[in-house]
Structure 1
Amino acid sequence: MESSFLTAVFLPLTLFIIMLGMGLGLKISDFKRIVVAPKAAILGLIAQLVMLPIMGFVLASIFPLTPELAVGVMILSACPGGATSNLMTYIARGDVALSIFLTAISSLITIFTIPLVVNFSMQVFVGEASALQLPFLTTVTQIAVITLIPVSLGMLLNHYAPRFAASVEKSVKWLSLGFLGLIIAIILYQERANIVGFFVQVGGVTLTLNVITMALGFVIAALGKLNRSATKALTIEVGIQNGTLAIAVASAPIFLNNPTMAIPPAIYSLIMDVTGFAFALWCQGQVGTLNLTPTLPGDGTPEKVAMQRSSNSDDK
């Protein structure tokens, strides 16, 4: 399989299937709750758009990186969220609606924040500015095709054909997992000659960034006294970055056209898949001992928890 086919066709198709599976288990009321109780969403956006770039800058300054690799870390820090975080939140039985909301909103906002972060890091680490602009309509269209459209389609099926949606939801989830695993395997095979060298260069800083940001999401949720499902969503959403977008910004000819800057997001993507899935599977293993049923963001009263349990019986 050629790399162009992988990135142009197979990866978008996989993400579409993933998001369709998310929508099959969602209702419009799930998103209304975020508007009614926005504390979790606000905390998540602050962590993703403000604290994450700050943490990336601190680590890029501390670790012995070349200027280009340091900029690569900053590009990664400026690209939060992504469909992978939604999938992992789904597996962890967290607040999927909150995760998708954070992914969609942060992706739109980063159209404007990525150029600011990248230009700042270029000035600090390389000594020159970069006139970086993301194509607005193209980016919004990609977000809609990969995220909003399949999720909406899944929600429509859930609304008008709930029995069918419930019967195929698990199959779609495992199908998407299989496709995602195949993509990772192909990437590893294509870069097998460079993987060790890449890990030597940026393995330490990317692993540290991943662990710290996941801990950051958890701590922020705990300080905000969010319920368990929202806490899991923030832990994953803050620690799982949009590696695909970061690689594109670093290496695509229409952006920075610098493959070296794409090394940190590439290695980070491999690391976050391991840590993210490990956390999600650990959460699943706690179902018998902990109350992991998704509840309203910021609302953990017994009455609301009971109501949410009755409407999400498949998540017990």
Structure 2
Amino acid sequence: MDSVLTQVFLPVALGIVMLGLGLGLTVADFKRIVVFPKAVLVALVCQVLLLPAVCFGLVLLLDLDPTLAAGMMLLAASPGGTTANLYSHLFGGNVALNVTLTAVNSVLAIFTLPLVVNFALNHFLSGTDQIGLQFGKSLQVFAIVLIPVAIGMFIRARSVDFADRMQRPVRILSVVVLVLVIVGTLVSEKDNIATYFADAGLVALLFNVLSLGVGYFLPRLAGLDRGDSVAAAMEIGIHNGTLAIFIATTLLASTALAVPAAVYSIIMFFTAAAFGYLVRPARSERAEPALES
């Protein structure tokens, strides 16, 4: 991908996405862990531990190309995207739980994502020049994720009305940005795009369906109600593709590593909608806890 895109546009794009996340967060969203302790714990176990393990097993089972396999692991380690909140709302999920999970996952990913990515690079690409996410690059992830979120939270703390007015245009801009990032990634690899879709399309689809299924059915088995389970499914099944593409193309200097995230980001919008329709709560179950501050 062109250096202007990776060095200028992509960091700005990710900053907009994370700023939009921050505009919808307050300190109370982190404190809400004590309101949904079981739901948060179950969802985090699925997101942080189970999902990378499922992805690892899947790429081994399908004997995926090593670069694409490492790219899938990068995607699996990325936190949920802000779109998860919208999908949860549309299909009767507990949006308050989504907001809390997105907030907590975004912070945890700063520490867990480098571990998973370095493991994947060492396992699948040990014979290449990939050096992984060392301390300096991990600090860049920390900065590009948390600083815009903190700015957004600060803006909300100073003016809730302004933050509320800005959330919708920033969310729309975030979707536009994601589409542009995906298109830019795929265009930069246009000579290999058919091969990448042939190689990564199936694994991305299977991983997405498995992520949604794990995110929904394990919470149900753990005794959570349908609304909480829908929220967990959307959080776990909808990833922050912009972050994964940023890390691949900017910090790891590999557009090929970003292809699985780009392919997944296209697929997930359709599969998440279909899955949400299938498991949406009955009308009588759709009462949603208030997003108290």
Shared fold per TM-score greater than 0.5? yes
Shift of 1:37: 3.3
Tell me the residue number matched to 1:104: 106
Tell me the residue number matched to 2:58: 59
One-letter code of the match for 1:45? L
Q: Could you tell me how far apart the structure 2 residues matched to 1:246 and 1:16 are? A: 13
1:69–1:7: structure 2 CA closer, same or farther, 3 Å change rule? closer
Residues 23 and 163, structure 2, Cα contact 8 Å, conserved in 1: yes
1:205 aligns with 2:203: yes
1:201–1:270: structure 2 CA closer, same or farther, 3 Å change rule? same
One-letter code of the match for 2:261? P
Q: Could you tell me how far apart the structure 2 residues matched to 1:23 and 1:119 are? A: 31
Corresponding pairs, count? 285
Q: Could you tell me how far apart the structure 2 residues matched to 1:192 and 1:258 are? A: 14
Please say which structure displays the higher CA radius of gyration.
1
One-letter code of the match for 1:80? S
Shift of 1:51: 0.8
Residues 220 and 226, structure 2, Cα contact 8 Å, conserved in 1: no
Shift of 1:185: 4.1
1:220–1:137: structure 2 CA closer, same or farther, 3 Å change rule? same
Tell me the residue number matched to 1:263: 259
Q: Could you tell me how far apart the structure 2 residues matched to 1:128 and 1:175 are? A: 37
Tell me the residue number matched to 2:142: 140
Q: Residue by residue, what CA displacement relative to the aligned partner does 1:121-176 show, whole Å, maximum 9, x if unpaired? A: 33xx8679975324243222112124332244234421xxx3x4444443443343
One-letter code of the match for 2:43? G
Residues 74 and 121, structure 1, Cα contact 8 Å, conserved in 2: no
Q: Could you tell me how far apart the structure 1 residues matched to 2:258 and 2:180 are? A: 21
Helix, strand or coil: the match of 1:81?
coil
Matches within 5 A, 1:1-316: 3-77=2-76, 79-82=77-80, 85-93=81-89, 94-95=95-96, 96-114=98-116, 117-118=119-120, 121-122=123-124, 132=132, 133-135=134-136, 136-158=138-160, 162=161, 164-247=162-245, 250=248, 255=252, 259-276=255-272, 282=277, 289=283, 291-295=285-289, 308=290
One-letter code of the match for 2:70? V
Give the unaligned 5+ runs of structure 1.
296-307
CA RMSD of aligned residues (A): 3.7
| Structure with more contact order per residue of length (Cα contacts < 8 Å, sep ≥ 6) | 2
1:49–1:261: structure 2 CA closer, same or farther, 3 Å change rule? same
Q: Could you tell me how far apart the structure 2 residues matched to 1:174 and 1:137 are? A: 28
Deviates more, 1:135-144 or 1:147-156: 147-156
Q: Could you tell me how far apart the structure 2 residues matched to 1:168 and 1:190 are? A: 32
Residues 243 and 265, structure 1, Cα contact 8 Å, conserved in 2: yes
| % identity of equivalent residues | 31
Helix, strand or coil: the match of 1:241?
coil
One-letter code of the match for 1:144? L
Residues 18 and 87, structure 1, Cα contact 8 Å, conserved in 2: no
Q: Could you tell me how far apart the structure 2 residues matched to 1:112 and 1:279 are? A: 30
Shift of 1:43: 1.6
Residues 102 and 235, structure 2, Cα contact 8 Å, conserved in 1: no
Shift of 1:223: 2.2
Q: Could you tell me how far apart the structure 1 residues matched to 2:181 and 2:121 are? A: 31
Residues 71 and 261, structure 2, Cα contact 8 Å, conserved in 1: yes
Residues 72 and 264, structure 1, Cα contact 8 Å, conserved in 2: yes
Q: Could you tell me how far apart the structure 1 residues matched to 2:190 and 2:284 are? A: 41
Helix, strand or coil: the match of 2:283?
coil
Q: Could you tell me how far apart the structure 1 residues matched to 2:273 and 2:74 are? A: 23
Shift of 1:52: 1.1
Tell me the residue number matched to 1:302: none
Shift of 1:36: 4.3
Please report the TM-score for the alignment, with normalisation by the length of structure 1.
0.72
Residues 21 and 154, structure 1, Cα contact 8 Å, conserved in 2: no
Q: Residue by residue, what CA displacement relative to the aligned partner does 1:183-242 show, whole Å, maximum 9, x if unpaired? A: 444444444443322111121111111110111011122223334553233212222334
One-letter code of the match for 2:265? S
One-letter code of the match for 1:118? A
Please report the TM-score for the alignment, with normalisation by the length of structure 2.
0.77
